[in-house]
């Protein structure tokens, strides 16, 4: 039987408690589970999301790590919607690459970068909670994957572009609704529901069980955390209200436009039917006066066949 322990929300922990080097193992565990390689956190980047002011509640948190191949891994946690988030992902990766290589260095010093994005908002449409993207070059006519020459340790080897170009992970926290059976699902269960299995052996979550218990917070931390949770609730209410109002306005506008279009279409159809009836009445009179069907058609716009049936 599991003990119903209350754990601190991940977004709060990563902005406050996990910035302490003593707690880096939690984040390192998440990255290891996701990428399948052991990592070491280098630093918590000083982005706008790492400030201690009230205005930073929903901003991002940046984490920089390296794996055993000395490749760079950046992690971002984002709570609120950003219209150009994909562009920001690309900017973050480009910045990491350019900051790593010094002016005058050869291009072989460029390191592969992994971008991990933990999002607490809906990014586009998709049925999965985890998406992974990498760069490959595919033959337009042959369909084969391009490999290129590269020199490593004085040896000429073949390397695929995906081993050089950045890789991206997008974790859509809100989309997770499965039972947690795999390590990544256990992490999603914590990211979304603040739940950790008592018998977990998943890297990072074992350390989180010991260090992120709500009951271990002091009074000051607890008050700040409660205020943060209240802010999250208010923010979600505002977003939900805005969505509902937007849908209601859209429906109202649609009905108004529909009625207006209906009236306009009705008037147009009425005028067309009236003109048709009037033309037929004139045609009957002209036919009674002995005019030919061709002449009646020229004056009324009716077809010869329609005139013949009058």
Confidence label for 93 from pLDDT (cuts 50, 70 and 90): very high
Q: What is the pLDDT of residue 58?
A: 41
Q: Cβ(58)–Cβ(106) under 8 Å?
A: no
| pLDDT exceeds cutoff 50 at 85 | yes
Residue with the two structure tokens 């754990």 = 7
Q: Cβ(175)–Cβ(129) under 8 Å?
A: yes
| pLDDT exceeds cutoff 70 at 5 | no
Tokens representing 216 are: 């271990």
Task: Report d(CA 78, CA 95) in Å as an integer.
Answer: 18
What pLDDT, in 10s, does the model give residues 125-134? 888 999 999 9
Q: Cβ(6)–Cβ(41) under 8 Å?
A: no
Rounded mean pLDDT of 252-281? 66
As a whole-number percent, the residues of the chain with pLDDT over 70 amount to: 74
Q: What is the pLDDT of residue 178?
A: 83
145 to 17, 161, 166, 167, 295: CA distances (angstroms):
44, 9, 17, 17, 73
What pLDDT, in 10s, does the model give residues 106-139? 887 888 999 999 998 888 888 899 999 999 999 9
| pLDDT exceeds cutoff 70 at 245 | no
């Amino acid at each position: 039987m599991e003990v119903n322990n209350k754990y601190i929300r991940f977004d709060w922990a990563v902005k406050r408690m996990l910035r302490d080097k003593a707690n880096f193992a939690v984040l390192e565990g998440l990255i290891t589970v996701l990428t399948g390689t052991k990592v070491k956190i280098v630093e918590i980047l000083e982005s706008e999301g790492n400030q201690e002011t009230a205005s930073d509640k929903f901003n991002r948190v940046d984490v920089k790590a390296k794996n055993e191949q000395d490749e760079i891994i950046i992690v971002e946690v984002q709570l609120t919607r950003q219209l150009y988030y994909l562009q920001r992902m690309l900017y973050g990766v480009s910045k990491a690459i350019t900051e790593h290589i010094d002016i005058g260095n050869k291009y072989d010093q460029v390191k592969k970068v992994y971008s991990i994005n933990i999002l607490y908002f809906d990014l586009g449409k998709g049925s999965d909670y985890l998406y992974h993207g990498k760069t490959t070059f595919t033959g337009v006519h042959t369909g084969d994957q391009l490999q290129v020459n590269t020199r490593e340790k004085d040896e000429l080897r073949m390397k695929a572009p995906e081993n050089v170009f950045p890789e991206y992970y997008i974790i859509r926290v809100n989309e997770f609704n499965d039972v947690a059976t795999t390590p990544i699902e256990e992490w999603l269960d914590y990211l979304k529901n603040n739940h950790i299995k008592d018998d977990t052996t998943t890297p990072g979550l074992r350390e989180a069980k010991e260090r992120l218990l709500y009951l271990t917070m002091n009074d000051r931390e607890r008050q700040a955390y409660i205020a943060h949770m209240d802010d999250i609730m208010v923010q979600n209410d505002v977003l939900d209200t805005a969505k509902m109002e937007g849908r209601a306005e859209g429906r109202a506008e649609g009905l108004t436009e529909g009625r207006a279009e209906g009236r306009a279409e009705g008037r147009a159809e009425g005028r067309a039917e009236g003109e048709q009836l009037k033309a037929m009445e004139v045609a009957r009179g002209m036919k009674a006066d002995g005019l030919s069907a061709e002449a009646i058609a020229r004056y009324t716009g009716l077809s010869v066949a329609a005139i013949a049936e009058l």
